[in-house]
Amino acid sequence: MEILQGRLLALFIVAFATTTTYLIQAQSDPKEFISLDCGLHHAVSPYTEPLTGLTYTSDANFTQGGQSGRVQKVWEEAYKPFTVLRYFPDGVRNCYNLKVTLGTKYLVKALFLYGNYDGLNDGPKFDIYLGKTTPIISALELRPLRDDTYNTTNGSLKLLKRYYSSDFLGPSIRYPSDVYDREWKPISLSFGLSFVNTSLNVNSSTPYELPQEVISKAVINKNVTEKLSFDWIVDNREDQALIYLHFAEIQTLRDNDTREFDVVWKGNDGNITISAYRPPKLQLETLYNTSPMKCRFLACTVELVMTQSSTLPPMINAMEAYMIVEFLDAETNQEDASAVEDVRDTYELSRIDWQGDPCVPRMFKWEGLNCSYTNATLPPRIISLDLSSSGLKGVIASSIQNLTHLQELDLSNNNLSGGVPEFLGNMESLLIINLGWNSLTGPIPQALRDREKKGLKLVVHGNPNLCLSDSCNSNNKKVLVPVFASVAGLIALLVLFFVLRKKKPLSKASTRELPRKSSIFAKKKKFTYSEVVELTNNFERVLGEGGFGVVYHGSLSDKEPVAVKVLSESSVQGYKEFKAEVELLLRVHHINLVTLVGYCDEGGHLALIYEYMANGDLKQHLSGETAGSTLKWASRLKIAVEAAQGLEYLHVGCEPPMVHRDVKSTNILLDNRFEAKLADFGLSRSFSVGAETQVETVVAGTPGYLDPEYYLTNWLNEKSDVYSFGVVLIEIITNRAVIELTREKAHIAEWVKVLISRGDIEKIVDPNLGGDYDSNTVWRILELAMSSVSHSSSDRPSMSKVVNVLKECLISENLRTGGGQIQDDESMNSELTVNFGTEVTPFAR
């Protein structure tokens, strides 16, 4: 049993074996009880449980995922009525959403009965967030408690033990005897203990309200000179415990009798003692250590020591021991959580991981979200929303404007229609808006135009009916004024308007209003060669040169710089790679992939026009070619995360999946905000839809980054990119050349292996970092990199795993350096969500 304390968490982690209970913060009323029989079919719900008389309902309306199972017959008789269960074979987070009262403390109990439901005879273990095997649950129960009980300064309480005194191993005591439905188990009487009881009524009208069956019984020492001692075992040395002791004098004392003893809680930080305690006659009194204590040698100990003036031995009626459970983050800001839930409902998104709290836990926040985290007392805020390639239809959801801390919004590559809403221009926190490749119409709101002048990056390519000219506003107003006459008139007028726009050329006056180069910007993806010459100012400024050809600086307008890659006659890649890159970038869109603005294929002239990446490539910044200072560790981690996300999108977000085949530090480009994007997709390959996981192909790539397994077998799969990215990670850590013939081992990965085997780990990290990093984070990235460059692709992690580890490390580094923004304290979410996990093996109850 556990107590969740102080506030309700929008995300609650179920972490218990067999029956586990949490106390969370109301006078008990069975009408406020929530009792779920998990996996129960709705046709037989609700029902009354005969032992307690409580009403149980099906959990079907409280969770999105999972399937129903039934324990085998050998388990059914002993564990009625909980013979069905819900198991969760899909997704990394499966949540229960329960409506509770904000500010109320709750007791939460969960029952896990495996019962060999799957016939494997192998009880599952599941971690806190991500299951090693299939998570299961049989029952889930919530009970309101009084606010003045089980108080902690921080965190919640997880039950270790709850005992009452009994002269035999009788049944557990729970509701209706216990109005809060706490479950009391009889204490195991060891040699030297005696049991006493009374038939008199014991006054238990205190906040803890123990049942008469509990408080009317007690244990004492037979030997009056010996202390009464109890121990509880914890898992870790750092665990902290609260131990509650319940006393009432239930024996009739003679005039010369005295029961007096010291109560001692023994911990690593010293002892807590209440001296010369005398239990009140026939009256419940509860003592507990108000300061949580760390337990010595993994054992929490309480001793009752008879004083010299006492004639009777110590006595105790009941006891409870709890471990403090701290939650690292507050639940997501209420307004942000409601806003993103509205977005989900508006577009009818059925993503299995879009359950529970959007930002918590950090490792498993909703896909497509980034959140800012400061400390456990401040709610996380949603700072980016990526719904690209999500099949969205309809207009842009108005609830997006309620994400008041949103910095990046990506709605690209969907089927959104209607106009660009005015509210986007009023969202002061937005820095990037990507609306490309939709079916949006009408003008760009003036508020957005004004924000662009102040640095907002607005991407609208791929919306052929979106007007990009400043003159659109006035023209549209003239057409739309009479529309309100009737619905039929509106339809006819709009049809006429678009027919006229298509067939009637612009007047000379309106043509003069448009800057000349805007005609290029308004075109679709294909450019003429003369337009390429114009936008590069006759190939005036060279940005770089590669195997494909020369890259030139260009400009679609004064505010739209581009990079233009022109195929040289001597190119070793040629038309095949040019065509592959155009076809890939025309259909994939991700914030961490360089955007293709257009291409030219005219009379032997081949060119690719990309968004301009003002800060060059990662290799330049690591090698010191740029004039800026050394990249800090946090900056390197951020770049790694963003590049990894781009690769992950190619592997799992594209249909069919794509393999880049040329991942290297020079192909990770940085824009003017130092955001990383993958570039150069000329060698990329896709897999067929279906079971095919690899293809045979001619080997291509860059020496040093090339997957050795792919090189030897010609068989390509996504783990080839993982190998190349692993090499990039080693570059980020070491700032050494990938191939250096003067080293003992020429290849960077083999060189690092030698240093690790010798224990020379200090020589691995780039000395330019000056020791400004968390060594634990560095070694975790190093372990990730070395597993990524395993010679066997089966031993390499997936890019999704790589992304998760990198994100965790970036969060850790930002916390170390104080990164992130300070947010205002907000009211807490009133939903309690249960998310499966923690290293738990369910057994029979």
Residue 49 confidence (pLDDT):
84
pLDDT, tens digit, for every residue of 766-822?
999 988 888 888 988 998 999 999 988 888 999 988 998 999 899 888 888 775 432
Mean pLDDT value across residues 681-692: 51
Peptide linkage before 211 cis (omega within 30 of 0): no
Higher pLDDT, 65 or 484: 65
For 813, the enclosing helix (H) or strand (E) is helix 799-817
Quick one: pLDDT band at residue 508, thresholds 50, 70, 90?
A: very low
- Asked whether the predicted pLDDT for residue 76 surpasses 50, the reply is yes
Query: How far apart (Å, rounded) are the C-alpha atoms in residues 296 and 293?
Result: 9
Query: How far apart (Å, rounded) are the C-alpha atoms in residues 217 and 251?
Result: 10
Query: How far apart (Å, rounded) are the C-alpha atoms in residues 447 and 450?
Result: 5
| Most confident region among 298-312, 578-592, 593-607, 681-695 by mean pLDDT | 298-312
Higher pLDDT, 243 or 96: 243
- Asked whether the predicted pLDDT for residue 494 surpasses 80, the reply is no
- Asked whether the predicted pLDDT for residue 89 surpasses 60, the reply is yes
- Asked whether the predicted pLDDT for residue 687 surpasses 60, the reply is no
Identical fold, 334-457 and 618-817: no
CA proximity to 638, closest of 660, 668, 662: 668
Which bin fits 446, alpha (ψ -120 to 50), beta or left (φ > 0)?
alpha
Quick one: pLDDT band at residue 739, thresholds 50, 70, 90?
A: very high
| Most confident region among 31-45, 464-478, 498-512 by mean pLDDT | 31-45
CA proximity to 614, closest of 658, 673, 685: 673
Residue 776 confidence (pLDDT):
83
- Asked whether the predicted pLDDT for residue 451 surpasses 80, the reply is yes
Q: 502 Cβ partners below 8 Å, 6+ apart? A: none
| Most confident region among 186-190, 294-298, 523-527, 785-789 by mean pLDDT | 785-789
How far apart are the two ends of the chain, measured CA to CA in Å?
13
Lowest mean pLDDT among 61-65, 135-139, 159-163, 300-304: 135-139
- Asked whether the predicted pLDDT for residue 214 surpasses 90, the reply is yes
Residue 259 confidence (pLDDT):
93
- Mean pLDDT (the chain, rounded): 78
Q: Which residues are annotated as a binding site for ATP?
A: 565
Catalytic residue among 181, 262, 662, 766: 662
Alpha helices in 554-705 (DSSP H): 574-587, 618-623, 633-648
CATH 1.10.3720.10 fits 618-817, yes or no: no
Which two tokens mark 286?
């509860």
Which bin fits 785, alpha (ψ -120 to 50), beta or left (φ > 0)?
alpha
Angle between helical axes of 775-788 and 633-648 (0-180°, round to 10): 30
Q: Which pTM value belongs to this model?
A: 0.49
CATH code reported for the domain at 186-325: 2.60.120
Quick one: pLDDT band at residue 686, thresholds 50, 70, 90?
A: low
Residue 677 confidence (pLDDT):
94
Residue 18 confidence (pLDDT):
35
Which two tokens mark 83?
């013979």
Residue 664 contacts residue 833 (beta carbons within 8 Å): no
Residue 690 confidence (pLDDT):
39
Lowest mean pLDDT among 50-54, 134-138, 329-333, 763-767: 134-138
Query: How far apart (Å, rounded) are the C-alpha atoms in residues 595 and 585?
Result: 7
Mean pLDDT value across residues 681-705: 58
| Most confident region among 210-219, 375-384, 505-514, 815-824 by mean pLDDT | 210-219
Helices (H) and strands (E) in the chain, counts: 17, 47
Is 662 among the residues known to form the active site?
yes
- Asked whether the predicted pLDDT for residue 503 surpasses 50, the reply is no
Radius of gyration (Cα) for the chain, nearest Å? 33
Residue 40 confidence (pLDDT):
86
Torsion (CA) 84, 90, 94, 96 in degrees, nearest 10: -40
CATH 3.40.109.10 fits 334-457, yes or no: no
Residue 379 contacts residue 354 (beta carbons within 8 Å): no
For 835, the enclosing helix (H) or strand (E) is strand 831-836
Q: What are the structural domain ranges in the chain?
A: 2-151, 186-325, 334-457, 519-611, 618-817
- Asked whether the predicted pLDDT for residue 517 surpasses 80, the reply is no
pLDDT, tens digit, for every residue of 366-402?
888 988 887 767 889 999 999 988 889 999 999 999 9
CA torsion sign, 18 to 24 to 29 to 32?
negative
Residue 188 confidence (pLDDT):
62
Q: In this structure, which topology does domain 519-611 adopt according to CATH?
A: Phosphorylase Kinase; domain 1 (3.30.200)
> Which residues in 333-370 are b (16+ Cβ under 10 Å) and which e?
bbbbbebbeebbebbeeeeebbbbbbbbbbebbbebbb
Residue 239 contacts residue 295 (beta carbons within 8 Å): yes
SS3 content of the chain, % helix, strand, coil (to 5): 25, 25, 50
How many CB atoms sit inside 10 A of residue 625's CB? 11
Residue 1 confidence (pLDDT):
42
- Asked whether the predicted pLDDT for residue 3 surpasses 60, the reply is no
Residue 518 confidence (pLDDT):
32
| Own/partner long-range contacts of 699-702 (Cβ < 8 Å, ≥24 apart) | 700/661, 700/662, 701/661, 701/662, 702/662, 702/664
Query: How far apart (Å, rounded) are the C-alpha atoms in residues 838 and 192?
Result: 38
Q: 780 Cβ partners below 8 Å, 6+ apart? A: 805, 809
- Asked whether the predicted pLDDT for residue 546 surpasses 80, the reply is no
DSSP state of 690: S
Provide the strand spans (E) within 675-792.
Answer: 676-678, 685-686, 695-696, 715-716
